[in-house]
């Protein structure tokens, strides 16, 4: 974190031909809120690695390699250490150790926010939920960016996805906006338009790809940086740097992070307007099949069926350990974890639901298409490639995937081989396992088809990958993936999507007449 921030400050000074102090003040003015940073340690001649070691925010543990993002500075022939010459200059300036502030949550300004974020990460439930029905009127902190928006947060029997209470004659019990009685014939709107319409919700159980992890590149690209670049920073942090509102499965807002939004939820909603707001994204950064902790909001007796997408596409083979192969999920563990999760779903999902198991991705795509390209931090001076970034993260043992983000081709191949083995486990589960309340299907992660489709549109493969982390699917990849998944379902499992509601146009017309409510 220190290396990234100091890199941005130094590049701001370079780009605007200013002092480091002026660059820091510029950055602080861009960022919402007031934060104090000691600036006199940073020297234009010191690279970010040296600065952060001088501040003791970075250190070299005994017996461990010295991790650096930039090429090491040239030092005296007999210097006792790689960073001695410049780090010693920092010590002469009597820089206080920052060890006490190594955790951002130590700052009083952030302590309360950190506690809220810890709560939602631990429980995967909305922080603001006054009636305890697992739905919220607040967008972030696992609120309606992640689940359909509650329309009455003071009544636990009112929430998205339930079957209408007495056809919603008097009020909207399922938050789809359809309630009341048609004065022309006395028939409740919900009964007239939604009875027998195969209404169903969509639920995602996934990892950071499903949650749609994204760090805006403009946060690190000084040539694009302005106050506007950081306007979404508070929202991003309270959503754990995830953007589920634009995601492939549960996206529902127009994308503000590039590309466009297309999602399974939006297509189900267009197919049947009665499905409005019936979505749940129960994904978490770093989630493995062994730790899928469910906070599913579904009542078998009161609620509509759901389509559940089960997609942990990489974390069972991805870790930051030096001996990465030894820490990957085995096929036997995968079988046990997934069957256990499916049994849980069978005890919670209403009858008539569907589960789609998604295979793991072939992550060799990442190195093949990014390793020699410049990272956003390296674009100004053409000095940091993705290969360098991957090596830096791997050295720190915080790589999102040591098995794929490596120059070791043998290791990349072995990681893909294990991913294929785990996908075959999922495929066999879909073929052989039976459950009382849902049928089950399998589909490969559509990376190859996505790349082919994007190529037809004139795009480049690297644009399908998040530019800052160099690991997750981009907004473009998410939108194209939706289209491919939908077409597969239409041709192979039409029963999963339900029938098209013939009253959609009438519903929309009434909404417009009533001002869109």
Cβ pair 507, 273 in contact under 8 A = yes
Alpha carbon of 127 to those of 80, 130, 240, 267, 460: distances in Å? 51, 9, 13, 29, 40
CA angle, residues 5, 9, 10, in degrees to nearest 5: 115
Task: Give the bridge partners for 66, in sequence order.
Answer: none
Two structure tokens written together for 60: 């070299």
Determine phi and psi for 375, rounding to 5 degrees: -70, 155
Two structure tokens written together for 111: 């302590």
The number of helices, as runs of H, and strands, as runs of E, in the chain is: 17, 5
Two structure tokens written together for 76: 């005296």
Cβ pair 140, 133 in contact under 8 A = no
Cβ pair 175, 151 in contact under 8 A = yes
**Which stretches does DSSP call E strand in 7-154?**
none
Q: Which helix (H) or strand (E) holds 199?
A: none
Residue burial 443-467, b: 16+ Cβ < 10 Å; e: rest: bbbbbebbbebbeeeeeebbbbbbb
Determine phi and psi for 394, rounding to 5 degrees: -65, -40
Task: Give the bridge partners for 303, in sequence order.
Answer: 162
Q: Of the residues 173, 208, 416, 423, which is catalytic?
A: 208
Of 345, 341, 364, nearest in space to 353 by CA: 345
Three-state DSSP string of 271-313: HCHHHCCCEEEEECCCCCHHHCCCCCCCCCCCECCEEEEEECC
DSSP 435-451: -SSEEEEEE---HHHHH
Determine phi and psi for 353, rounding to 5 degrees: -80, 175
Q: Is 18 a catalytic residue?
A: no
Q: How far apart are CA 9 and CA 42, in angstroms?
A: 9
Q: What is the dihedral of CA 361, 365, 370, 372, to 10 degrees?
A: 140
Task: Give the bridge partners for 311, in sequence order.
Answer: 206
Which residues are annotated as catalytic?
A: 208
């Amino acid at each position: 974190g220190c290396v990234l921030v100091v890199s941005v400050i130094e590049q701001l000074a370079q780009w605007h031909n200013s002092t480091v102090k002026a660059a820091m003040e510029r950055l602080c003015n861009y960022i919402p809120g007031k934060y104090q940073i000691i600036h006199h340690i940073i020297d234009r001649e010191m690279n970010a690695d040296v600065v952060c070691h001088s501040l003791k925010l970075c250190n070299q543990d005994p017996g461990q390699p010295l991790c650096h993002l930039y090429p090491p500075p040239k030092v005296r022939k007999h210097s006792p250490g790689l960073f001695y010459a410049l780090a010693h200059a920092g010590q002469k300036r009597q820089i206080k150790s920052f060890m006490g502030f190594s955790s951002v949550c130590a700052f009083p300004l952030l302590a309360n926010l950190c506690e809220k974020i810890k709560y939602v990460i631990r429980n995967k439930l909305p922080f603001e939920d006054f009636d305890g029905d697992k739905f919220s009127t607040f967008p972030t902190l696992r609120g309606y960016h992640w689940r359909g928006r509650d329309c009455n947060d003071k009544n636990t029997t009112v929430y998205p996805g339930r079957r209408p209470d007495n056809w919603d004659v008097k009020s909207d019990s399922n938050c789809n906006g359809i309630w009341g009685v048609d004065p022309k014939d006395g028939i409740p709107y919900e009964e007239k338009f939604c009875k027998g319409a195969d209404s169903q919700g969509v639920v995602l159980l996934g990892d950071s790809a499903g949650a749609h992890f994204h760090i805006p590149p403009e946060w690190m690209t000084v040539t694009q940086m302005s106050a506007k670049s950081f306007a979404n920073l508070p929202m991003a942090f309270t959503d754990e740097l995830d953007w589920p509102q634009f995601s492939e499965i549960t996206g529902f807002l127009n994308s503000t992070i590039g590309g466009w939004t297309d999602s399974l939820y939006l297509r189900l909603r267009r197919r049947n307007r009665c499905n409005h707001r019936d979505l749940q994204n129960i994904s978490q950064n770093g989630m493995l099949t062994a730790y899928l902790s469910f906070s599913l909001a579904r009542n078998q007796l009161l609620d509509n069926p759901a389509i559940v997408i089960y997609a942990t596409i990489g974390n069972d083979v991805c870790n930051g350990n030096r001996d990465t192969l030894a820490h990957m999920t085995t096929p036997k563990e995968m079988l046990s974890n997934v069957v256990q999760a499916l049994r849980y779903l069978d005890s919670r999902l209403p009858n008539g639901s569907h589960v789609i198991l998604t295979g793991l991705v072939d992550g060799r795509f990442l190195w093949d298409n990014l390793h020699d390209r410049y990272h956003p931090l390296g674009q100004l001076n053409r000095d940091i490639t993705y290969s360098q970034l991957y090596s830096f993260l791997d050295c720190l043992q915080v790589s999102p995937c040591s098995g794929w983000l490596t120059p070791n081709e043998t290791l990349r191949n072995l990681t893909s081989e294990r991913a294929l083995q785990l996908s075959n486990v999922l495929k066999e589960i879909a073929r052989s396992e039976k459950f009382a309340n849902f049928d089950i299907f399998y589909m490969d992660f559509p990376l190859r088809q996505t790349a082919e489709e994007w190529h037809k549109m004139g795009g480049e493969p690297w644009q399908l990958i998040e530019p800052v982390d160099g690991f997750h699917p981009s907004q473009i990849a998410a939108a194209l993936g939706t289209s491919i998944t939908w077409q597969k379902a239409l041709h192979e499992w039409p029963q999963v999507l339900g029938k098209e509601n013939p009253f959609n146009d009438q519903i929309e017309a009434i909404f417009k007449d009533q001002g869109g409510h």
